[in-house]
Amino acid sequence: MRIVFIGAGNLATHLAEACYAAHHEVLQVYSRTLENAIILANRIGAAPINDLSQINPTAELYLFSVKDDALPDVIEQMPQTEGLWVHTAGSLPMNIFAEHHVNYGVLYPLQTFSKKRKIVFDAIPIFVEGSNAATSHQLEEFAATVSGKIQLLSSEKRRFLHLAAVYACNFVNHMYTLAAEIINKEDIPFEILIPLINETASKITTMTPSEAQTGPAVRNDENVMEKHRALLMDPEKEELYSMLSKSIFKYTNSL
């Protein structure tokens, strides 16, 4: 397919490279910051632009991958074109395009993307939705060129999937950040936690997360939790520790 990327962030970068590797033709990369457009465009043989009026109107697919807050404005300024308009945002409904274009949809890859980190796209679940049956089908076929795990999913359900991903990825990663801070202060390297982190992630492939729960909160070991809070020496962190512990106890003991 002949594709234009609107956006050059983490997700756009990885998806554009996967499209390039799958022999699609990426015509242009738009970014508000020309430098970012150039970096990505150069890697995939596309033309960098930073002005939406320069968008090539003859592409078959326009992939909008910008910050959710920015998407309505970008759509507003988008010139009329052929092809499909498709965004990649977990939380935004498909019909954000409805007043601006005929054929549109969503392509949501459920993964965390950082520019510095290579990723194998093939194993990433991709959720697609089209404004009509033909568009849905077209998006399924397109998505299947970059991943082996394609599913149709409504905007309504995608919101919940995105919310769950925030817990399973963003909040989890922040727990890693807090853990790293605690032991780095004691000159213990973060790497020591990796077997524990791997086993924690691996456990929930063979049991439910509730069954897998261990630690002082599920045992309601008040002694240990009190000592832990005292080590944190920061009221906000203590409160977060308490809230998380209470939530663990509530879940594991109501099941």
Closest to a second copy by CB, 102 vs 244, is: 244
Interhelix angle 222-232/235-254, rounded to 10 degrees, is: 150
Closest to a second copy by CB, 51 vs 156, is: 156
8-state DSSP, 65: -
Give backbone dihedrals phi and psi of 215, rounded to 5 degrees, phi first: 110, 175
Interatomic CA distance for residues 207 and 204, integer angstroms: 5
Contact positions with a second copy (CB under 8 A) in 137-166: 149, 153, 157, 159-166
Shortest Å distance, C-beta 146 to a second copy: 14
Shortest Å distance, C-beta 162 to a second copy: 8
- Cα-Cα-Cα-Cα dihedral sign, residues 111, 117, 122, 123: negative
List 22, 113, 136, 145, residue binding a second copy (CB under 8 A): 113
List 59, 75, 110, 143, residue binding a second copy (CB under 8 A): 110
Residue 74 sits in the site that holds a second copy (CB under 8 A): no
Residue 244 sits in the site that holds a second copy (CB under 8 A): yes
Shortest Å distance, C-beta 132 to a second copy: 23
Site string (39-68) toward a second copy, x via CB under 8 A: ----------------------------xx
Residue 98 sits in the site that holds a second copy (CB under 8 A): no
Shortest Å distance, C-beta 74 to a second copy: 14
Residue 193 sits in the site that holds a second copy (CB under 8 A): yes
DSSP line for 150-216: EEE--HHHHHHHHHHHIIIIIIHHHHHHHHHHHHHTTT--GGGGHHHHHHHHHHTTTS-HHHH--SH
Residue 223 sits in the site that holds a second copy (CB under 8 A): yes
Shortest Å distance, C-beta 192 to a second copy: 6
Q: Is 94:86 a contact under the CB 8 Å cutoff?
A: no
Residue 95: both structure tokens together: 């019909």
Would you call 115 helix, strand, or coil by DSSP?
coil
